[in-house]
Amino acid sequence: MRQTYKDAAEVLVIDAGIRSCSLSALLEEKMLHVLSLGWMQRLWTLQEGLLAQKLVFQFSDWLTTLRELLPVGEDIFDVLLINLASGIFRLIKYRQNGGSKLRLGDVMQSRRWRTTSKAGDETLAISGLLGIDAFELANALTEERMKLFLLRN
């Protein structure tokens, strides 16, 4: 999936949690909707967020990019907006280098608030971010995946 997301011109995020919010809402409301999305909490979507060239969100009335959700001008002095923006900025920061220079610490920081229904699949979900062969991990016993993942990193 790594190559699929890296090659995609845009990745569209459609989530019921954000489709209830209008683009005309206050910036902090829009950022809260994005940060609390189910999409932002699922580990399997981390590759989409970090590797896509352009990440687009479907609000109730229009589309917007992740970058358009960052504070500008006087808003950069608003403590609430800057704290909210830190979660959004993390996705932009990693995408700017195309994910090619991600390190284990970067990925672990990004996945901190994300979950997967099967703990044994965690290494499969993040392997592509670090250039680790997911097929090799999938063929390993579930209890051996983390060891193999760390050895390949």
At residue 110, does pLDDT exceed 90?
no
Q: What percent of the chain has pLDDT over 90?
A: 35
Token pair of 132, please?
């680790």
Band the pLDDT of 99: cuts 50, 70, 90. Answer: very low
Beta-bridge partners for 11 = 55
**pLDDT, the chain, mean:** 86
* Domain range annotation of the chain: 2-115, 116-153
**How much is the pLDDT for 97?**
55
Q: Across residues 73-89, what is the average pLDDT?
A: 87
* For range 113-127, the mean pLDDT: 88
The predicted model scores a pTM of 0.79
What is 7-75 written as a DSSP string?
Answer: H-S-EEE--TTTTTS-TTS-HHHHHHHHHT-HHHHBGGGHHHHHH-SSEEEE-SS-EEESGGGS--GGG
Is the per-residue pLDDT at 14 higher than 50?
A: yes
